[in-house]
Amino acid sequence: MRDTRRARLTLGLLLAVALILITVDNRAGSDRVLGPVRGFAGAVFGKVERVGAAVTGPITGFVGMLRDAPSARRVIGDLRKENARLRDEVSAQRLDRARSDKLDRMLGLAGLGRYRIVPAQVVARRTVAGFEDTVEIDVGAADGIRADMTVLSDQGLVGRVIQAGPASSTVALLTDPALSAGARLEGGNELGVVNGLGEAGGGGNLIKFRLLDSTVPIGVGRRIVSFGSQRSLPYVPGVPIGVVERIDNTPGEVTRTAYARLFTDFSALDVVGVVVAAPKRDPRDSVLPPVPPPPKPRDERRPGEHRTGQRSLEEGFGLRRPAPPRDERAREDMAAGEGRGGRN
Amino acid sequence: MLRNVTPALLLFAVLVLQVVLVNRLLFTWAPDLVLLTVAVLATRRGPLPGAVIGFCGGLAYDLLPPANHTLGQYALVLCFLGYAAGRAGDRLPLLVMAGCGVLAPGMVAGLGALLGAPGVTWGVLATAWPRAAVCNLVAAPLVLWAVNVLYGGHRRRAGRTELVPGYRRGAA
């Protein structure tokens, strides 16, 4: 090795530069010294990523189609069934339009809280187990996007903008372990904090929900909405987050921990919306999907005593959820809720 | 000149490909093509260019937009691995790439843990590290083949058997 001395010197120098970069970036905190560097790189790479996404878009679509092929037949069957059901409902609704109109007005009043959003397309993604779960979207400062804006999908909360470039922005996802958001249980004032689990979430669609008051019963199947931050930055209130799936019973702890399945499918993020203007008043639970799904068969898998204990506790407090839609009244409710349209 | 421009362009293309296509299609089962490309380039070029390629590639990887980690993490890891891969030489490039592919996820996670990243725990490492290593091992032959095709067959490192005696080695 003729140049091993020089090689070692250069290696040492480069390692030192990397360490200095780490130190500067880590110590500088939020107002980064290296902000302009990141901004420039974001502008350059963002443009190329948009072009790359446009070129590879058909490939992504084709692979997605192939991946969905086995379930497509089942989906077609389900849709046929749903179609028949909906046709029945439409005819039933036509019969008593007057009552339906009244219900519609009521629901319209409840659903007044609207978010103004800018739609965006996900162009790139990074997932490193443990530290980051981020996506790049194709709107930026030119479209009115600023850092710390809420990002949502058609089903629920996605995350928040952490950096807005000129024509693209970086979004930290809710599954990122570094991200936490204020959350509220549906139909009450019990507050908590939602934390991403990252890799520990198993498949990435589980998050941790810590209820600040450990005496409040949670109950499997209760839904979580965002609580909203001060001046609606970074989170606007009322966005659906997920459904409680599992509860950790740890007596003596200050907070109560539950695990919730997110409404948004984070493994197939495509079209998202960035909230550029918060609703004038908190929409409370009106943005949640209309009807809670019927009890999952998954619950039978864990016949633990804490599950039954949970249920009896809830009954004791008189806090049981409304039963799944079996009577006509609930069906109407659902139909009217679907007719409302434009949930977000 | 061309010797330095080609790896730079190749790395740029691989960086964009990684976040635009590979990560989105394979989600958590995505191999780290950037790491493998740096490793194979380093085995072809030697320790000093390997370190420089690793540093530059890692820095670009740190700056690549959907990033939320501390700047310099990948630069440090890839600089070290580039140097090591260059030292190991190009006799068994696949073995070197496999070693890098297995080591790198652990090194990145370890560095993250040192910097206080909240999600790095033993439980996460126990599932994520083997999975990332397996993905890298599967992708390594493909990357090696692709780079060999791009460079036109397996070329020896410039120097020993070259006809031009004063050909500068290791000038990156």
- Please tell me the least confidently modeled range out of A139-143, A222-226, A250-254, B3-7: A250-254
Using the Cβ of A124 and the Cβ atoms of chain B, whether some distance falls under 8 Å is answered with yes
Between CA A315 and CA B136 the distance in angstroms is 52
Between CA B48 and CA A4 the distance in angstroms is 8
ipTM score for this prediction: 0.73
Rounded to a whole number of angstroms, the distance from the CA of A187 to the nearest CA of chain B is: 31
Q: What is the mean pLDDT of chain A?
A: 74
Residue A100: pLDDT above 70?
no
Task: Answer whether A34's CB lies under 8 Å from A28's CB.
Answer: yes
pLDDT at A201: 64
pLDDT at B65: 83
Please tell me what DSSP assigns to residue B169. P
Rounded to a whole number of angstroms, the distance from the CA of A236 to the nearest CA of chain B is: 22
Using the Cβ of B89 and the Cβ atoms of chain A, whether some distance falls under 8 Å is answered with no
Residue A157: pLDDT above 80?
yes
Residue A302: pLDDT above 50?
no
Domain edges within chain B = 2-151
Q: What does R_g of chain B's alpha carbons equal in angstroms?
A: 16
Q: Domains plus CATH for chain A?
A: 116-333 (2.40.10.340)
Confidence band for B81, pLDDT divided at 50, 70 and 90: very high
SS3 B71: coil
Point out which residues pair with A194 in neighbouring strands. A181, A209
Q: Do A52 and B170 touch (CB under 8 A)?
A: no
pLDDT at A13: 92
Point out which residues pair with A170 in neighbouring strands. A136, A163
pLDDT at A295: 53
- Please tell me the least confidently modeled range out of A103-107, B21-25, B151-155, B166-170: A103-107
Residue A107: pLDDT above 60?
no
What chain A residue is nearest to B168 in terms of C-alpha separation? Answer: A3
pLDDT at A22: 86
pLDDT at B76: 93
Confidence band for B134, pLDDT divided at 50, 70 and 90: very high
Confidence band for A30, pLDDT divided at 50, 70 and 90: low
Confidence band for B26, pLDDT divided at 50, 70 and 90: confident
- Please tell me the least confidently modeled range out of A218-227, B4-13, B93-102, B154-163: B154-163
| 3-state DSSP percent of chain B in helix, strand and coil, to 5 | 75, 0, 25
More reliable by pLDDT, A302 or A154: A154
Between CA A90 and CA A185 the distance in angstroms is 33
Between CA B22 and CA A122 the distance in angstroms is 14
Q: Do B27 and A132 touch (CB under 8 A)?
A: no
What chain A residue is nearest to B115 in terms of C-alpha separation? Answer: A26
Nearest CB to A134: which of B68, B83, B105?
Answer: B68
Using the Cβ of B22 and the Cβ atoms of chain A, whether some distance falls under 8 Å is answered with no
More reliable by pLDDT, A112 or B84: B84
**The two structure tokens encoding residue B74:** 């990948």
pLDDT at A169: 92
Inter-chain contacts counted by CB atoms under 8 A, chains A and B: 189
pLDDT at B28: 79
Work out whether strand A223-226 and strand A180-185 pair parallel, antiparallel, or are unpaired: antiparallel
What chain A residue is nearest to B17 in terms of C-alpha separation? Answer: A52
Using the Cβ of A68 and the Cβ atoms of chain B, whether some distance falls under 8 Å is answered with no
Using the Cβ of B16 and the Cβ atoms of chain A, whether some distance falls under 8 Å is answered with yes
More reliable by pLDDT, A166 or A330: A166
What are all long-range contacts of A44-48, with beta carbons under 8 Å and residues at least 24 apart?
A: A45/B15, A45/B16, A45/B63, A45/B64, A45/B65, A46/A136, A46/A140, A46/A165, A46/A166, A46/A167, A46/A168, A46/B65, A47/A167, A47/A168, A48/B12, A48/B16
For residue B169, CA distances in Å to A1, A133, B165, B172 come to 11, 40, 10, 9
Residue B157: pLDDT above 70?
no
Confidence band for A241, pLDDT divided at 50, 70 and 90: confident
pLDDT at A231: 76
More reliable by pLDDT, B42 or A304: B42
- Please tell me the least confidently modeled range out of A47-56, A92-101, A189-198: A92-101
Task: Summarize the confidence of residues A32-48 as an average pLDDT.
Answer: 83
Rounded to a whole number of angstroms, the distance from the CA of A170 to the nearest CA of chain B is: 5
CATH of the domain spanning B2-151: 1.10.1760.20
A interface test, pick of B12, B17, B20 with most A CB neighbours within 10 Å: B20
Q: Do B83 and A19 touch (CB under 8 A)?
A: no
